[in-house]
Amino acid sequence: MKNISDLSLLSSLKLIEGIVVLSDISSLNELLMNRRLFYCQKPLLLSEFVWQLRERLAKNPGSKILVVDEIVDETYDLTLSKFTNLPIHTNDSTGAEKYSSLLKLKQIDCRNYYRPVLDRIKEWREKNPEASGLEEEQLVGKILQNLVIKHFHFSRMECLRKKRPFSVRYDWKLGDKTITLWYPMEMGPKLFKEWLEERKIESKLDDSELKAQLQGEIDRSLFVERRVDLDINIVDSGHRTDPDNGIDSSAINPNLANVVVAEKANNIENLRPSIQSLGKELLGQLIYRIFDDLANGVFEDNKIANDFGISKATFSRFAGSRWQGRLEQDEDMAIPDLWKNTAKVIATDPEFVEAASEAGVMKSITKVLSIAKDI
């Protein structure tokens, strides 16, 4: 990479290439400290723009509730980490041991979040070979701003899920209002309804304010320091799509990830020996990593397998990609274990069925269920 004194002469795209391809910390510092690629009434640095998103979220109805304030701060911190943390990799450990140590440090790799910029600019350049450097710089800023907004939303969902592990949706009718709330899975709908009715809530607040007020009380009363009967740690999840995997991750919301992790971890003795050897904690981390990579559009079989110290063949049987296309030609083809289980979970829960139908993948899921007789 060029000397630090020369970095100011490089385009923002070249800096991002230095970050993603060369893991160059000087390029990252130049991008973060000197490039005002974001706009909100005036040009902003990345950190300033994320702070603006934080302030906007903090001003939402109900933001004075303690749990919501914590969510705001945690969302801000997590989003900033996604675009500022460049891990220093060493060669003293490999496979599952290496990735386990990274997880304990809550390691986030900003290269995964900048990489889509390179991919999109490459596609744009192929269609616009004569475009100027100024046009490129403006487009880099626009793409980055959209990515930061998207991941700010994802970060908020991740923080909410960590506050509410193994939660269930409940649509509560209050007069002419229907308020969507989340309560602990093990509580059950009958007991939760009784808990709500005991509050005798008659509020003139609008729907969003009432929802924030009620959910804040639920979080403080039912989720704080709540025990989860599963000896694994809950970490990141997300949702988006990779069509080659046969499961559209717009149907994979945080609740679905929780349910799949719980089922797999609590029945680990029924899994293949190579997957059993990971143990419950690392197995849970693996599943969340898979869903998170789908959410961020960076799902790569080889990379995940290497990070967890398992063979490509083992990973392919557990959660391999690009199987759906071959399924159309060969119904006897083995469907990866995780996608069979995910299809089962979706098909047996009305909320997940609705999400899968809206995502247009219910046909694929039905196909999986009709072929995978053993799930």
- For the CA atoms of 255, 239, 51, 212, the dihedral, rounded to the nearest 10 degrees, stands at -30
Q: Give the torsion sign (CA, 195, 196, 199, 200).
A: negative
Domain layout of the chain by residue ranges: 4-162, 167-223, 243-371
Residues 6+ apart with CB under 8 A from 125: 131, 136
- Judge contact between 256 and 306, C-beta under 8 A: no
Residue with the larger pLDDT of the pair 22 and 61: 22
Q: Is it the case that residue 210 has pLDDT exceeding 50?
A: yes
Instruction: Please state, in angstroms and rounded to a whole number, the distance separating the CA atoms of residues 5 and 228.
Output: 53
Place 100 in a pLDDT band, splitting at 50, 70 and 90: very low
Tokens 């400290």 label which residue? Answer: 33
Q: Provide the 3-class DSSP secondary structure of residue 39.
A: strand
For the whole model, what pTM was predicted? 0.50
Q: How far is CA 303 from CA 136, 189, 307, 373, in A?
A: 30, 41, 6, 30
Tokens in use for 78?
């997590």
- Write the pLDDT tens digit of every residue in 216-270: 788 777 875 443 332 323 233 333 334 344 444 444 455 566 777 777 877 788 8
Q: What is the pLDDT of residue 5?
A: 56
